[in-house]
Amino acid sequence: MKEAKTKFSQAKVKDILSDYRLAVESREASIIGRKEVFMGKAKFGIFGDGKEVAQIAMAKVFRNGDFRSGYYRDQTFMFAIGELTVQQFFAQLYAHTDLDADPSTAGRLMTGHFGTRTLDADGKFKNLSEIKNSSADISPTAGQMPRLLGLAYASKLYRNNPALKEYTNFSINGNEIAFGTIGNASTSEGMFFEAINAAGVLQVPMLTSIWDDGYGISVPAEYHTTKGSISKALAGLQRTKHEKGFEIITAKGWDYQELTEAYQRAEKICREEHVPVLLHVEELTQPQGHSTSGSHERYKSKERLAWEVEHDCIRKMREWIINEVMVLPEEIDAIEKEAKQSAKQAKDRAWKAFMEDVKKDQSIVTDILERAEAISQHGEELNKLRTELNTAINATRLDTMKAAKKALRYLREEDHAPRQELIEWLRAADEDNFNRYSSHLYSGSAEAALKAEVVPAQYSDNSPIVDGREVLQACFDAALTRNPLVLAFGEDVGKIGDVNQGFAGLQAKHGELRVTDTGIRECTIIGQGIGAALRGLRPIAEMQYLDYLIYALPTLSDDLACLQYRTKGGQKAPLVVRTRGHRLEGVWHAGSQMGMMLQSLRGIYIITPRNMTQAAGFYNTMLKSDDPAIIVECLNGYRLKERIPDNIGEFNVPLGVPEVLKEGSDVTIVTYGSMCRVVMEAAEDLEQVGIYCEVIDAQTLLPFDVHHRIVESVKKTNRLIFADEDVPGGATSFMMQQVLEEQDAYKYLDSKAITITAKEHRPAYASDGDYFTKPNPEDVFETVYAMVSEADPDRFPSLYGR
């Protein structure tokens, strides 16, 4: 240290130098990572260079129990909170599939996707209050914002609901902050604005940092943001003495002192007052450009590039340490050398571990091929395969798999031990690779929905007949009473009890924190649910109509559906999404977009009850499980009469188990939801002319008929029809694939399997529009009749002549 007396204590100087060392090590990791991509050791690189000092400042106020919801620039922050090592950073760059190597994603996501493991080995929540938490990243660069809102909202609930005080494994009096990060360009996204507005309305402890380096890939700020500054554009959110709102703070990204003071102030406001804070970190740089896919020299001027060199945060911090902290340049040089060497050593260890893992199988296959070529008539070809595998530069698992499968083609007519060993290795490798690349789409814990113990509905002579909505009301009341972690929110859910009265009177009974109105903001209603579920709560998030689910589809697909998968079982968010659709009038109020959900929401169970009693049973199942689900109630069923079970809060309906609604011998008709009533009406009419249909309610589309009940029906009837209200090629095609391909039902058909669907357009208005757009009983009757008539025209002559 210099002779001149520093104004900082020894402990403070030590802390500052430790921060500087970390910043340098993180920068070096970014530089090395870029080189590794160009050397072909990794496919792609995107790094947090230029953001190091700001992220270290943020990490200083991040406490146990807090949650991060950020994006791919946050590597230094993750290093600083101790939840990512530099070696793990490189393991992710190489896509190492070992969980110990890459605990964030097990090699399933490209570099820069960070998350902590909030679940133990059994899939149960750890004590989240005792650890630092990062929700799992996604690539869409504003997609973290809806979830961020929910993470912050959970703190409000834990602080203000006395019934939640005992859940100290999830929260300590709601003192936790949800830290969000986002790039300046991504603040142009609607998700950002929606989440920011909702946080201001809800007044939740959400501290959002905006890393502003002036660009969005190649596009400068003036093309992104009004006034070229998001803090100026959002100045109207600033709270006043008389109005609630945001606290808005700005700081320069190269100023260590200003940043640490800004974050200390932001944390105090957020944690103590539960006021959301927007911290705009300006004048950041991006030394290596956006990613390894391009060069920023192509779009930045020479003046801008020179400015970035001058205002690099690490350079500025070094200058400040020398000039203000009074540390000798030689000491700084030594720290830099040590940090850079440490990053290189971490890279070497990560690469060695990755290659050793890959080479295990390579070595096995090479040995088998060597022994096979000695006795095979295709020895020359096998030798070539073995040589190519052994000499491949940075060989991967696919190289080993390709070599093994090609070898088996040569050996297909031979019978010897190496061939059998190769077959056995391939079978074992398929299992291993399923675990590496395809496991954990759904929960595998003891609380998984598919493991739920079935409790049948019980009825007595005193079981009342009520409107379907009253069945749901009783179910939700029981759920809220049974478990203080259960809550419901959505448009009109609170005061009026939702537009169809399923929650009528429940806000008055259970309180506004349990049954809550929201604004019209479908995307962040889902995000609110995801974040709350990540923190141990059991939310029911309502989409008023299935049609409006489209507004939330990216969040459902990119975040919730793949959460367990992208963390390999490290995180879960058992959110139940409640919505309603099917038969009603109008283009935007009669949604049956089941195919859309089936294609985009694998990882979320899709449940399609035919009435409100079945719906109640499914709610009971899902609220006791740890899988997410969408439950689509029948829009036209709320005022139809049903008998309410005596055990309304306890009975449940199993997923993936179809129910036979009507026994028959001539045709099997598979349907679900509101179409059950339509098909049943047609089946009664068909019986009058001597055609007996077996009507099966699929009940859930994901999962679908897990015990293969439908094929047993086809064995009896030898004819098969799928009916629903989706467009042609939608859910009916999915069901057909499941039954014909998965269940091999084609073997038992005497007629081609067909579908009955809605038209390609959405329903026109009024009863006539519904009738002529979606399948009606007459359509079903005539389709079934024509199928049977084709086989037996004498008994069933054509309805419309030849």
Residue percentage of the chain with pLDDT more than 90: 94
Residue 135 gets which letter from DSSP? P
Residue 737 gets which letter from DSSP? I
What is the C-alpha R_g of the chain? 30
Distance CA 302, CA 307 (A): 9
3-class DSSP assignment, residue 183: strand
- Pair type for strands 67-69 and 178-183: parallel
Burial of 340 (0-12, 13-18, 19+ CB in 10 A): middle
Distance CA 374, CA 411 (A): 12
Report H helices in 161-255.
Answer: 190-202, 230-233
Q: Token digits for 321?
A: 């340490």
Amino acid at 72: Y
The answer, yes or no, to whether the previous bond of 276 is cis (omega within 30 of 0) is no
Q: Residue 2 pLDDT > 70, yes or no?
A: no
Identify the pLDDT of residue 394.
86
| pLDDT tens per residue, range 45-68 | 999 999 999 999 999 999 999 999
Tell me if 487 sits within 8 A of 455, measured CB to CB: no
Identify the pLDDT of residue 366.
96
CA distances to 142, 690, 700 from 789, in Å: 56, 12, 31
| pLDDT tens per residue, range 458-481 | 999 999 999 999 999 999 999 999
Distance CA 614, CA 606 (A): 14
3-class DSSP assignment, residue 605: strand
Burial of 801 (0-12, 13-18, 19+ CB in 10 A): exposed
Give the angle subtended at the CA of 13 by the CAs of 11 and 19, to the nearest 5°. Answer: 105
Distance CA 481, CA 109 (A): 40
Q: Token digits for 751?
A: 């007629």
Report residue 4's pLDDT band, with 50, 70 and 90 as the boundaries: low
Tell me if 98 sits within 8 A of 168, measured CB to CB: no
The predicted model gives 124-135 an average pLDDT of: 98
Report residue 801's pLDDT band, with 50, 70 and 90 as the boundaries: confident
Identify the pLDDT of residue 1.
45
Report H helices in 40-142.
Answer: 52-59, 75-80, 86-93
CA distances to 154, 474, 570 from 163, in Å: 13, 21, 28
3-class DSSP assignment, residue 606: strand
The predicted model gives 502-529 an average pLDDT of: 98
Query: Cα-flanking dihedrals φ and ψ of residue 200, to 5°?
Result: -65, -40
The predicted model gives 759-782 an average pLDDT of: 92
Q: Token digits for 617?
A: 């049973």
Distance CA 188, CA 185 (A): 6
Q: Please choose, from the candidates 635, 632, 670, the residue with its C-alpha nearest in 3D space to the C-alpha of residue 757.
A: 670
3-class DSSP assignment, residue 251: strand
Whose tokens are 């809800």? That residue is 202
Average model confidence (pLDDT) for the chain? 96
Residue percentage of the chain with pLDDT more than 70: 99
Instruction: Pick the range with the lowest mean pLDDT from 2-16, 416-430, 484-498, 634-648.
Output: 2-16
Instruction: Pick the range with the lowest mean pLDDT from 115-119, 691-695, 789-793.
Output: 789-793
Q: Residue 349 pLDDT > 60, yes or no?
A: yes
Start-to-end CA distance of the chain, whole Å, equals 102
Identify the pLDDT of residue 583.
74
Residue 774 gets which letter from DSSP? S
Q: Token digits for 478?
A: 């029981």
Element (H, E) at 754: strand 754-756
| pLDDT tens per residue, range 626-657 | 999 999 999 999 999 999 999 999 999 999 99
Tell me if 477 sits within 8 A of 509, measured CB to CB: yes
3-class DSSP assignment, residue 650: coil
Q: Please choose, from the candidates 149, 157, 164, 279, the residue with its C-alpha nearest in 3D space to the C-alpha of residue 201.
A: 149
**492 CB-near residues (< 8 Å, 6+ apart):** 498, 499, 517, 544
Burial of 162 (0-12, 13-18, 19+ CB in 10 A): exposed
Identify the pLDDT of residue 802.
65
Q: How many CA atoms lie within 13 A of 415 on its CB side?
A: 0
Distance CA 63, CA 436 (A): 33
Element (H, E) at 346: helix 329-375
| pLDDT tens per residue, range 726-740 | 999 999 999 999 999
Residue 323 gets which letter from DSSP? I
**Better-predicted residue by pLDDT, 799 or 583:** 799
| pLDDT tens per residue, range 602-630 | 999 999 999 999 999 999 999 999 999 99
3-class DSSP assignment, residue 182: strand
| pLDDT tens per residue, range 763-773 | 888 888 889 99
Tell me if 480 sits within 8 A of 508, measured CB to CB: no
Q: Please choose, from the candidates 410, 369, 416, the residue with its C-alpha nearest in 3D space to the C-alpha of residue 388.
A: 369
Report residue 5's pLDDT band, with 50, 70 and 90 as the boundaries: low
Q: Please choose, from the candidates 55, 567, 22, 42, the residue with its C-alpha nearest in 3D space to the C-alpha of residue 291.
A: 42
Distance CA 85, CA 94 (A): 14
Q: Residue 488 pLDDT > 70, yes or no?
A: yes
The predicted model gives 521-535 an average pLDDT of: 98
Residue 139 gets which letter from DSSP? S
Identify the pLDDT of residue 763.
86
Whose tokens are 């430790």? That residue is 18
pTM (2 d.p.): 0.96
Longest Cα–Cα distance of the chain, Å, equals 111
Residue 558 CB coordination number (10 Å):
17
| pLDDT tens per residue, range 557-602 | 999 999 999 999 999 999 999 999 987 678 888 888 999 999 999 9
Q: Please choose, from the candidates 760, 757, 746, 754, the residue with its C-alpha nearest in 3D space to the C-alpha of residue 786.
A: 754
Residue 555 CB coordination number (10 Å):
26
Report H helices in 84-206.
Answer: 86-93, 144-160, 190-202
Distance CA 294, CA 308 (A): 17
Q: Token digits for 670?
A: 């598979």
| pLDDT tens per residue, range 264-293 | 999 999 999 999 999 999 999 999 999 998
Q: How many CA atoms lie within 13 A of 778 on its CB side?
A: 4
| pLDDT tens per residue, range 351-376 | 999 999 999 999 999 999 999 999 99
Distance CA 103, CA 126 (A): 15
